[in-house]
Structure 1
């Protein structure tokens, strides 16, 4: 039985000892109730902490924003819907070897004697020939071109005349433009470290350029590509849609960020010590751009100083929905994931037909709003992650933050439904930035700031060449000779 203060006063008039005892019981009961409340609060905190640790431990590339490289040896689960067809896609060109009409060498294997009676067949008529062709490499040799300059004395006036060496022939011995282009190709495109380039050339040709020779040429090519990079930047600014992303790099032992602005035909990279808008602005693309930028939901892209429209990456949202499904068990996330996958499929099917029909757009937008209502019902306003001894606004859960993002950026998330130019995801930028991470895995870090800047510019040029199906070695050789003309 629990006594009120008035009841205690009434009892105290009759018996002071009983009243004193009841008062003591009430004080002890109040202490116990306070202790129980604290234990309940602590238990809620620990449960929330355990839940968050389980989420962190189980976060992979398919249910969070973590990259696939963080999955270790585990094979990540794909979130794509199977197309139902096996084999290559329509229009895919195979790589089967084809017979050539004019082989370099023909080796004839004649029949000398009959296998039955051992009679010589030298004069017998050839009835038919069966052909088989072997494609193989010839031994690689370094071609040495010697330049000789004549000196002649004029018989009339006695003046000594001397010929002129070609432009670029500056030393008694040096490597030619094609060797230099090949070294750049190996380092920037194939991502071979300098020491391994030396080993490869030694094994192939018997010659091994010094580290200084390779690095000097990298610097020369970096300077020669400055006008080409300016053209790429200007063309990106004029494009309707571009993709943006960034990733961390180690430069001189410190964390810096490799930014990229890219589309299906052009690639531009830039290295900067900041990840946010300062690093983005240093590339000098986004501050001048007025089209549509596809990106993740990194807050710096939403700065007021930018004039472009936004399109959020659907692949990131699918992974985060999967995380809420795995660790929060909320139905709205499963529904939103299914809707985005369906919308992505229909947008791809309708792209060649001018885009998704108005009716389908309205139906999907309505379904989107209904899912948001379901999410609000599953996530009341009170935060479900209590904080310990902290003032100010309490932290929200992952599910609440994701729901708020879907509510705030509905137009940006569904832009691919209304504009056929806009893709569902930001895979273009992620593909272009992936090789930067491979470079980091191979070399670990850039030893100098100059090396990082050289890699960014030359890699952007090589990526652009590949997108436009231009010959890499030939183009790099032309840049080295000062003969490259970039036509878009």
Structure 2
């Protein structure tokens, strides 16, 4: 309670000395109150700062968008179901080595003498055999093919004519298409750097190509695969659902972006200095795409000029809900996480049975979604209000509020998987297709030129597509180099 000067004079009954003492005490008290208020504000700011630092230090691949490789040496949570013998997780399809119906070589083993009576078994008839097969790799070697273009003198006109070499034979000594296919596979798919790849080839087959030769071979593969990249783009353009994502990439020592558009059969990668609309325009697929794109809620995808519909990655949302649960303790995030997981279980059961969810159930699911956000709005608004009372200046919105408003704004895109059986729950397809590019960056650090980066993207696109369609990679690349390969139309 603040005391006025008039009240002080009344209390002191006109004694100026006592009144002055009272005024001095009141001034000191006011200063102390202001200092306490200032310290309370500073303490609150420090609490919020510590809270945010704890959140950042505690981020991992389970509660944020950070990749698993960033988790370091922390012990991962075991996702396997308990019980049963140790081995592959439940549902994993094993790969057992099976007998070959047509072995390349058969070695017969016979016994010469009976161990019991020492009788010779040289002429005894066989009554059966037991077979065992050994799968082994022969020592690799390079096969050298010499092309001889003979010169012949025409007996009629006496002109000398030389037979032409095959169009792929351009130099006196060169590497063949099979060797070139191996180089592309090892460098772009297995991500071996140039020097280690030269060492591997030298150890395997005694031929050590130079770095310039390897780059020349990759350039030839890149040119041969351009028509196949066009096929991939066309097939993705006709797909009802595609996945899109992007990740940081270093080219010429500078940060750029590797973009992916893919589905379960096709992969298209592209490199661009921009993460946003310029890159999307350069890839030339999404600006005219009129079906569904699954993505991670990056704002660029929501431009009104793009005709496609949206489906958001719920795996990202689940991780953000876990973060809000852990560091903010807000119950609505727990309810939303459990709701999304339960809804996905219903959708999976519906897809296995081939029966769509009934409209009444769909409306119930959507109503529960709205109810969770209604309760959550009170929770995050209350928390934001408590933080902002003692904060200086304009208070930015909390992560919980940002996440909640994203749920409100993109309800249709988030829940699209319950109404459309073609839409997956997450964007894992695009993330799998782009993940190994981060390994490439760890191995090589940076691409030396933009041309090398674009070459990597094109070759990787084709090899990834071959893998998805269970086609032989090396044989297909060699056929493409001869201009004799194309994907089967779907």
After TM superposition, the score normalised by the length of structure 2 is 0.93
**Aligned counterparts of 1:322 and 1:88: Cα–Cα separation in 2:** 24
Q: How many residues align?
A: 485
- Alignment RMSD, CA only? 2.3
How far the C-alpha of 1:75 sits from its partner, in A, is 3.9
Q: Residue 36 of structure 2 aligns to a residue in which SS?
A: helix
Equivalent runs, 1:147-226 vs 2, <5 Å:
147-226=147-226
2:43 is the alignment partner of 1:50: no
**Aligned counterparts of 1:133 and 1:208: Cα–Cα separation in 2:** 34
Query: Could you report, residue by residue, the CA deviation over 1:88-132 in whole angstroms, capped at 9, with x for unpaired residues?
Result: 777x76422222233221111111111122121112222221111
How far the C-alpha of 1:388 sits from its partner, in A, is 10
Equivalent runs, 1:404-443 vs 2, <5 Å:
404-443=405-444
**Aligned counterparts of 1:150 and 1:62: Cα–Cα separation in 2:** 68
User: 5+ residue gaps in structure 1?
Assistant: none
Question: 2:370: which partner in 1?
Answer: 369
Question: 2:100: which partner in 1?
Answer: 100
How far the C-alpha of 1:74 sits from its partner, in A, is 2.2
Distance 1:2 1:162, change over 3 A: closer
**Aligned counterparts of 2:300 and 2:255: Cα–Cα separation in 1:** 18
**Contact 1:384 1:396 survives alignment (8 Å):** no
Q: Residue 157 of structure 1 aligns to a residue in which SS?
A: coil
Question: 1:134: which partner in 2?
Answer: 134
Q: Residue 381 of structure 2 aligns to a residue in which SS?
A: coil
**Contact 2:218 2:455 survives alignment (8 Å):** yes
**Contact 1:384 1:397 survives alignment (8 Å):** no
Q: Residue 293 of structure 1 aligns to a residue in which SS?
A: strand
Question: 1:255: which partner in 2?
Answer: 255
Distance 1:82 1:98, change over 3 A: closer
Query: Could you report, residue by residue, the CA deviation over 1:111-169 in whole angstroms, capped at 9, with x for unpaired residues?
Result: 11111221211122222211111111122221111111111212232111211111111
2:248 is the alignment partner of 1:243: no
When structure 1 is superposed on structure 2, of 150-159 and 211-220 the one drifting more is 150-159
Question: 2:40: which partner in 1?
Answer: 40
**Aligned counterparts of 2:80 and 2:122: Cα–Cα separation in 1:** 65
Question: 1:461: which partner in 2?
Answer: 462
Equivalent runs, 1:227-242 vs 2, <5 Å:
227-242=227-242
Q: Residue 256 of structure 1 aligns to a residue in which SS?
A: strand
**Contact 2:41 2:390 survives alignment (8 Å):** no
Query: Could you report, residue by residue, the CA deviation over 1:406-436 in whole angstroms, capped at 9, with x for unpaired residues?
Result: 1221111111111111100000000001111
How far the C-alpha of 1:85 sits from its partner, in A, is 9.5
Query: Could you report, residue by residue, the CA deviation over 1:218-276 in whole angstroms, capped at 9, with x for unpaired residues?
Result: 11222222222222222222221111111111111111110111111111111111222
User: 5+ residue gaps in structure 2?
Assistant: none
Q: Residue 212 of structure 2 aligns to a residue in which SS?
A: helix
2:488 is the alignment partner of 1:487: yes
Query: Could you report, residue by residue, the CA deviation over 1:183-222 in whole angstroms, capped at 9, with x for unpaired residues?
Result: 1111111111111221121112111112111101211222
**Aligned counterparts of 2:6 and 2:261: Cα–Cα separation in 1:** 75
**Aligned counterparts of 1:163 and 1:197: Cα–Cα separation in 2:** 36
How far the C-alpha of 1:348 sits from its partner, in A, is 1.1
**Contact 1:237 1:289 survives alignment (8 Å):** yes
Question: 2:124: which partner in 1?
Answer: 124
How far the C-alpha of 1:84 sits from its partner, in A, is 9.6
Distance 1:166 1:58, change over 3 A: same
**Aligned counterparts of 2:271 and 2:22: Cα–Cα separation in 1:** 74
**Contact 1:290 1:309 survives alignment (8 Å):** yes
2:275 is the alignment partner of 1:275: yes
**Contact 2:63 2:321 survives alignment (8 Å):** yes
Question: 1:334: which partner in 2?
Answer: 334
Q: Residue 166 of structure 1 aligns to a residue in which SS?
A: coil
